[in-house]
Amino acid sequence: MSDTRLYYKYWGKARPEDGEGPAYHLLPYHCLDVAAVADAWLKTSKNLQRSFAGISGLNEEQTRAWLLFFIALHDYGKFDLRFQRKASAAWVAANPKLSAAPVQLNGKAIKDYYHGPAGLYWFYNDLRERFSAGDGDFCFDDNDDWNAWCSWLAPVVGHHGIVPEEHVKDSYEYDLCASDELKTSFRQSRLQWLQILEQLFLQPAGITLDANPPELKTGKNHQSAAIMLAGFCSVCDWLGSSERFIYDDKPCGDLDALQRWYAVRLTIAEQALNDAGVIGQAKAYQSVDELLDPGNKPRQVQCLIEKLPKAPGLTIVEASTGSGKTETALAYAWQLLALGLADSIIFALPTQATANAMLSRLEKAAPLLFANQTNLVLAHGRARYQQDFIDLKQACLPQTAQGHEEAWVQCGQWLAQSRKRVFLGQIGVCTVDQVLVSVLPVKHKFVRGFGIGRSVLIIDEVHAYDSYMYGLLEAVLEQQRLTGGSAVLLSATLPFEQKRQLANAWNCALPDENKNYPLISHCQDGQVQFFDLSDLPEQMPTPTTVNIELLKTPELLPDADLLQRLLDAVEQGAQVCLVCNLVAVAQQLYQSLRQRVQQSPTLNEEQLLLFHSRFIFADRQKKEQTVLQCFAPESLERRKQGRLLIATQVVEQSLDLDFDWLITQLCPVDLLFQRMGRLHRHAKNQSGRPSGFTEPVCTVLLPENIDYDLHAVIYGNSRVLWRTQQLLEQAKRETGSRLAFPVVYRPWIELVYGQEAWSDEPDAVTKNYETYKDACYTSHMSAKQLIRSSMHELSDNDSTVAALTRDGEMSLNVLPVYLDDQGREHVLNGDCLHDLDESNLAEALNLNTVAVPHSWANRDRLPKAGQDGLIHLPMQHQEAGGFIAHHENDTYLYHADTGLFRIETTKESV
């Protein structure tokens, strides 16, 4: 073998010894397989070409040259004896001469060798004279040459999960037992590989190795360019390692032969990309009309879509509940997709329930936006158990010869295997925590970051997050801006201070508050443009009036008269919702009302529903579907019978529900408006509303004094509750208890969330707010500190995502179980944990856990968590159905109708 082709003497992928086919795949071939995937992907995506050209500052041809050159270097650290010895048989077969050289390497040296950071180390040392300025020092801070090369090389060698630090200090040098001849041979192989890659990729673009690549642009607190490059390389490596790329151990004779070999692999790469579902073809944009139900015309903010800039930016849509914000965001995203300014859409929502509901809506929209099959993927902690998502995955399975029909919307099996891949299809639906983790120190965070960067990121209910999550969200938006991506934020009730924070994250200073409503704000290149309906007065929202009934009751609880009114309304055929701030309160009211229903000759228990978050997942999913079936606008047949839903905050965001009468405990004004948005939501139901409910009425339960108790704890401070109450009482005095929408949206929200104290504000309320404000600042800074943390070893799993994207004490996961006669544990659906294999056990645990407040564990009032991290709560069957447990002085009850309920000797915890 000629010394000019030493790089063919190394394996890059090896099969198990009992595997079929060639024992190994040559290292250069694997590297070029990955480069071929990148090459084929770039050819299909104008957006990726634009994005990488933007962060490199070069034209597209030169950007492509450097990009493919470096991606082909992603396994540079595999040109090392310790890596080659990880598969001894493959090493002997690939290089019988060097493998026979006497050398002592212990197993630990082989096991502890990580070829990613080692690749950065070897690249520097192979070119030490160039980078060390002749004095042999390693990685000077002021070495512009090294900084430029490292800005590309560190992300690609970090494709296995962690981008190595710019200054690799760990020595990857061999022990003294390695001969100089052996070291020289490995170095020559690496340098020859550099020369081949120069000829393959750089020289056709007029570049040589003597030139430096441009240093990639980076963000203030994180390396956005590195995120895009590492994510792109990692996904290309996954796909380039697929079974489509048949192992090849026969070296090419010369450069021309290698180029012909690479051209064949390009064709394979195109098919691998299609198989994985990451390639989509956006349809030409038509109009928002296509996204609307037949017969509907664009309305309100939907009429502003054509005026919006056709360029990447941050778009904030403020419009009332039920005004069509979702279709507005999708239509604008469709424009960006059709122009090659994005490859996909990511829709992030605050809760699992809202994400599940959005999946169904986007399944209908997907065929309008994309040609051929569209991969629609759901991501949250329990997405794999959501039935619609299961159905989509089944649709992606290979069809039999007898069945040629194809689903328009599919969920690629490869994409569905990991939440890290959810952002790589054409449409991803997720909870917002799956987006926030992309800026946190977890392995492969750059895969999420890359997927988001190539997408139009749509975040619904953007007002619904706390200070800690806003700290993370700002970093997500900054990263999105620096990678050339786009974001669309939706809210009906966004305070100006929150909007200012979001604009700042896009490097835009928001001018003095624009009082118009509805309003779309677009941030781009440091400038803000506003779009409103002043030129389209006919599209201004039709003013609506909600009648407000204020009732002062002890502890904000309905009295006997109100409970009877609720049941009377159900008898009249009304669709009624009572929203509580506490799960325990909702459960207690449900039990009380159920007793009344059982004694009623005209009502049945099916007309009474309870919906909250404290069910095992399997039961909660059924509850969610029942609620949607009963109260969704399409449920005309079901609406012929009156019903009462007792719920918590789970109904106030993103669920398309329509009630005839709404009763709610006092809550902050923005959430109050969200709840009111479910009242007389759809005009098409108006003719079917029963007598006495043809006008929308919201009954608000107020406290008898300013002691807001646990309600203030839930919402962080008592000021937002006190101010909301003052405005409600003022409206009662001045307008006869009638609120005009959307007129009240902006003034009320700004009054409640304004920074300055009101002149008549009680001292207790002011002091409580000051404490809250300090806590918010601390939470916000905690998020920023975590983003900058050097901690990189956390796994990307459910518990890590939950812990890192929420501030303070997380909820606990309780696993209700019962014991059989042999003392073996069964979960509530009957599965015996001792009989399940690992995969089925994980599923059973996930389906049967209940999230409870962390405070429930105070003073050992729950059992200790087991090795699986779950609190196993032993329960017994009850004769009346359900389960009961006693622990310390507390009693725990579980029933599929009511969820997990605690009867305690002290006051109910939040």
For the segment 40-98, what is each residue's pLDDT rounded down to a tens digit? Answer: 999 999 999 999 999 899 999 999 999 999 999 999 999 998 898 888 888 888 888 88
pLDDT band at 163 (very low <50, low <70, confident <90, very high): confident
Same domain, 103 and 218: yes
What number is the average pLDDT over the span 596-612? 93
SS3 435: helix
In this predicted structure, the answer to whether residue 900 has a pLDDT above a threshold of 90 is yes
Which of 276, 292, 317 finishes a domain? 276
User: Beta-carbon neighbour count of residue 205 at 10 Å?
Assistant: 17
- Quote the pLDDT of residue 44: 94
Q: Domain with 474 in it: what CATH number?
A: 3.40.50.300
pLDDT band at 455 (very low <50, low <70, confident <90, very high): very high
In this predicted structure, the answer to whether residue 807 has a pLDDT above a threshold of 90 is no
In this predicted structure, the answer to whether residue 576 has a pLDDT above a threshold of 70 is yes
- Quote the pLDDT of residue 393: 44
Does residue 362 form part of some domain? yes
> Under 8 Å CB-to-CB from 211, ≥6 apart: which residues?
none
Considering the chain, what percentage of its residues have pLDDT values greater than 70? 86
HEC profile for 732-758?
HHHHCCEEEECCCHHHHHHHHHCCCCC
In this predicted structure, the answer to whether residue 223 has a pLDDT above a threshold of 80 is no
pLDDT band at 270 (very low <50, low <70, confident <90, very high): very high
What number is the average pLDDT over the span 478-496? 92
- Quote the pLDDT of residue 246: 86
- Write out pLDDT tens, residues 770-798: 999 998 888 888 888 888 776 555 555 55
Q: Domain with 171 in it: what CATH number?
A: 1.10.3210.30
pLDDT band at 335 (very low <50, low <70, confident <90, very high): very high
Angle at which helices 60-71 and 224-240 pack, to 10 degrees?
60
In this predicted structure, the answer to whether residue 138 has a pLDDT above a threshold of 70 is no
| Among the listed residues 414, 415, 475, the one whose alpha carbon sits nearest the alpha carbon of residue 449 | 475
CA–CA separation, 798 and 795 (whole Å): 9
SS3 549: strand
Determine which of 301-310, 635-644, 897-906 has the lowest per-residue pLDDT on average.
Answer: 635-644
In this predicted structure, the answer to whether residue 744 has a pLDDT above a threshold of 60 is yes
Same domain, 573 and 514: no
- Write out pLDDT tens, residues 505-540: 999 999 887 889 999 999 999 999 999 999 999 999
Does residue 228 form part of some domain? yes
Instruction: Tell me which of 468 and 399 has the higher pLDDT.
Output: 468
Same domain, 428 and 374: yes
Does residue 783 form part of some domain? no
In this predicted structure, the answer to whether residue 638 has a pLDDT above a threshold of 60 is yes
pLDDT band at 810 (very low <50, low <70, confident <90, very high): low
- Quote the pLDDT of residue 75: 94
- Write out pLDDT tens, residues 88-117: 888 888 888 888 777 777 777 888 888 888
Instruction: Tell me which of 275 and 804 has the higher pLDDT.
Output: 275
In this predicted structure, the answer to whether residue 355 has a pLDDT above a threshold of 90 is no
Does residue 24 form part of some domain? yes
CA–CA separation, 816 and 845 (whole Å): 10
Which structural domain, as residue segments, surrounds residue 56?
A: 3-276
Average pLDDT over all residues of the chain: 85
In this predicted structure, the answer to whether residue 383 has a pLDDT above a threshold of 60 is no
- Quote the pLDDT of residue 502: 95
- Quote the pLDDT of residue 401: 27
In this predicted structure, the answer to whether residue 657 has a pLDDT above a threshold of 80 is yes
Strand stretches in 355-466, DSSP E: 370-371, 374-379, 409-410, 427-431, 455-459
- Quote the pLDDT of residue 546: 94
Same domain, 391 and 487: yes
Region of 340 please: left (phi>0), alpha (psi -120 to 50) or beta: left
> What is 780-849 written as a DSSP string?
HHHHHHHHT-----B--SHHHHHHHSS-SSPPEEEEEEEE-TT--EEETTS-BGGG--HHHHHHHHHHT-
Which of 694, 711, 741 finishes a domain? 741
| Among the listed residues 604, 584, 567, 746, the one whose alpha carbon sits nearest the alpha carbon of residue 665 | 584
What number is the average pLDDT over the span 410-426? 64
Enter the tokens of residue 280: 């989509």
Determine which of 63-72, 307-316, 504-513, 584-593 has the lowest per-residue pLDDT on average.
Answer: 504-513
pLDDT band at 133 (very low <50, low <70, confident <90, very high): low
- Quote the pLDDT of residue 700: 97
In this predicted structure, the answer to whether residue 229 has a pLDDT above a threshold of 90 is yes
Does residue 517 form part of some domain? yes
Q: How many domains does the chain have?
A: 4
Beta bridge partners of 767: none
Same domain, 184 and 329: no
In this predicted structure, the answer to whether residue 258 has a pLDDT above a threshold of 50 is yes
What number is the average pLDDT over the span 631-635? 74
Does residue 758 form part of some domain? no
Alpha-carbon distances of 296 from 288, 290, 299, 325, rounded to whole Å:
10, 10, 9, 15
Same domain, 464 and 441: yes
Long-range contacts of 24-28 (CB under 8 A, 24+ apart): 24/87, 24/90, 24/93, 24/94, 24/247, 24/249, 25/245, 25/247, 25/248, 25/249, 26/94, 26/248, 26/249, 26/251, 27/75, 27/78, 27/79, 28/193, 28/196
Alpha-carbon distances of 191 from 127, 270, 345, rounded to whole Å:
9, 30, 42
> Under 8 Å CB-to-CB from 843, ≥6 apart: which residues?
385
- Quote the pLDDT of residue 420: 65
Q: What is the DSSP letter of 17?
A: T
Same domain, 557 and 452: no
pTM of the model: 0.85
Alpha-carbon distances of 268 from 38, 126, 243, 532, 762, rounded to whole Å:
12, 33, 11, 49, 71
Does residue 244 form part of some domain? yes
Strand stretches in 188-298, DSSP E: 281-282
What number is the average pLDDT over the span 583-606? 94
- Quote the pLDDT of residue 512: 82
Same domain, 84 and 147: yes
Same domain, 413 and 515: yes
CA–CA separation, 515 and 391 (whole Å): 45
In this predicted structure, the answer to whether residue 174 has a pLDDT above a threshold of 80 is no
Same domain, 134 and 240: yes
CA–CA separation, 42 and 201 (whole Å): 14
Q: What is the DSSP letter of 301?
A: G
Radius of gyration over alpha carbons of the chain, in Å? 30
CA–CA separation, 29 and 11 (whole Å): 9
- Quote the pLDDT of residue 392: 42
Considering the chain, what percentage of its residues have pLDDT values greater than 90? 48
Same domain, 445 and 477: yes
Which of 722, 741, 760 finishes a domain? 741
> Under 8 Å CB-to-CB from 688, ≥6 apart: which residues?
636, 639, 640
Beta bridge partners of 552: 702
Alpha-carbon distances of 522 from 219, 305, 518, 654, 842, rounded to whole Å:
21, 12, 14, 23, 44
Same domain, 259 and 407: no
pLDDT band at 294 (very low <50, low <70, confident <90, very high): confident
In this predicted structure, the answer to whether residue 136 has a pLDDT above a threshold of 60 is no
Residue the block writes with tokens 């009963």: 630
pLDDT band at 164 (very low <50, low <70, confident <90, very high): confident
pLDDT band at 575 (very low <50, low <70, confident <90, very high): very high
Strand stretches in 597-682, DSSP E: 608-611, 643-647, 661-665
What number is the average pLDDT over the span 115-130? 88
Does residue 774 form part of some domain? no
